Amino acid sequence: MHIRFLGATGTVTGSKYLVSSGPVRILLDCGLFQGYKELRLRNWAPLPVHLADIDAVVLTHAHLDHSGYLPLLVKNGFRGKIHCSEATYDLCKILLTDSGHLQEEEAAYANRHGFSKHHPALPLYTKADALEALKYFSPVRFGTRFKVSGDVHARLEVAGHILGAAIVALDDGKTSITFSGDLGRPDDPIMPAPAAIQKTDYLVVESTYGNRRHDSTDPTELLGQAICETASRGGVTVIPSFAVGRAQELMYYIHRLKDKGKIPAHLPVYLDSPMAINATEIYHRHRRDHRLDDEECRAMCNAAKLVRTADESIALNRQHMPMVIIAANGMATGGRVLHHLKLYAPDRRNTILFAGFQAGGTRGASMIAGAEAVKIHGEYIPVRAQVRQIGNLSAHADADEILGWLSGFAAPPKRVFIIHGEPDAANALRERIEQRFGWACSVPAYLDEVTLS
């Protein structure tokens, strides 16, 4: 076996790994780069591998930093199968088409207002490209060993990060390699704990929170406090949110807060993301993949008023009263939340509340770092609103939780590759694994290649 690291090295985005076994070439994840401009430019550059050589793709989960490059892959000639869990397939139907539609909208908006350096501004891919890519999906059940291509087989186990998220174990009959994907938390209120893995020759593990522990404070209390303080000032709480996973968790917590009288029952809460609305409905379809029962699912779905159309979204900004707006996307790199930030960020009464990790180079990271203004749609918007972050709402395991998952291995891997983390986080996790377990570890760089003996 041979592995080449095509993404998520030195950063938490752009997950792509080319695994080779003899003549077989498999792409493990196919994500978009996000954040810094030099990373985003990689999305536009040719993939550093011949597409005709790729036999199949296996996805860990549906988030765009793991799946969002697929429409471009198919657009450029890939015709193999895309293997993933059943829930991941259902979510990709939403995320990929929405991603293509959003890119078309943003290109058109840039052309109308003339703020793009490119004339005309073009989308990376379109909604039609995404629909074409969906034709190549081949969903499988958790725990089922299946043939990927040639002698290479795979098995998906529950990762717990979001609905459908998987740990992927690959083997060619001689060598095995396991990809953690994005690991969830053992005590998440909605998603199950990551499955225990007993043995693998090689392990590729994420390190998003490799140098941190999540705050032990109940995130429900932190969320309620932020919302109540903002409402008491007559302000609006804007929560940039990932449409899949984070939006549902936020609505679950808001349901609990209102049920317990911790936030006013009459305070309007809006979910302004058609993608998040559709994703929430998928939780009913995949009941066996999460912890919520039917009643809890319904309560979560009813915790917010659903904003589906662009006109309804625009109308929100004409409501001059305290409210909560949950809008995509989570790092404020695009989507409807940008229009809300343009209106509400300049007002000191309001709060911009980030729930989870913010990758370097994103507007979310800049605002948390104290930026006095952020550039949105070609103009600088002053940031006078309170900017807060609830880190322990993250769907990622923290450093201690990753080590807890690793302790379940019955035998040490020959080598652990630490990816999907900023440099400090990846190196901190490497040191902790070496000190605690004595395992051989390395932190790959972009385009590194390793032969797995």
Tell me the two tokens of residue 212: 């941190």
Q: What is the largest CA-CA distance in the chain?
A: 64
What pLDDT, on a 0 to 100 scale, did the predictor assign at position 350? 97
- The model's confidence at residue 116, banded by pLDDT at 50, 70 and 90, is low
What pLDDT, on a 0 to 100 scale, did the predictor assign at position 328? 85
- Give 105's Cβ-side CA count (13 Å radius): 11
Fold match between 2-212+395-451 and 219-393? no
What pLDDT, on a 0 to 100 scale, did the predictor assign at position 82? 98
Please determine, for residue 37, whether its predicted confidence score (pLDDT) is greater than 70: yes
In 328-453, DSSP assigns E strands to 351-354, 373-376, 379-382, 386-389, 415-419, 441-442, 449-451
3-state secondary structure 104-147: HHHHHHHHHHCCCCCCCCCCCCCHHHHHHHHCCEEEECCCCCEE
169-228 pLDDT per residue, tens: 999 999 999 999 999 999 998 999 999 999 999 999 999 999 999 988 888 999 999 999
Write down the domain spans for the chain: 2-212+395-451, 219-393
What pLDDT, on a 0 to 100 scale, did the predictor assign at position 3? 98
Tell me the two tokens of residue 102: 């959003």
C-alpha torsion 188→301→279→8, nearest 10:
-30
CATH of 2-212+395-451, one of 3.60.15.10, 1.10.8.100, 3.40.47.10, 3.40.50.150: 3.60.15.10
Alpha carbon distance 212, 215 (integer Å): 9
Q: Please give the CATH topology (third level) of the domain spanning 219-393.
A: Rossmann fold (3.40.50)
What share of the chain in percent tops pLDDT 70? 99
What pLDDT, on a 0 to 100 scale, did the predictor assign at position 187? 92
Beta-ladder partners of 204: 179, 417
393-425 pLDDT per residue, tens: 888 999 999 999 999 999 999 999 999 999 999
* Pairing mode, strands 56-58 and 81-85: parallel
- The model's confidence at residue 324, banded by pLDDT at 50, 70 and 90, is very high
- The model's confidence at residue 134, banded by pLDDT at 50, 70 and 90, is very high
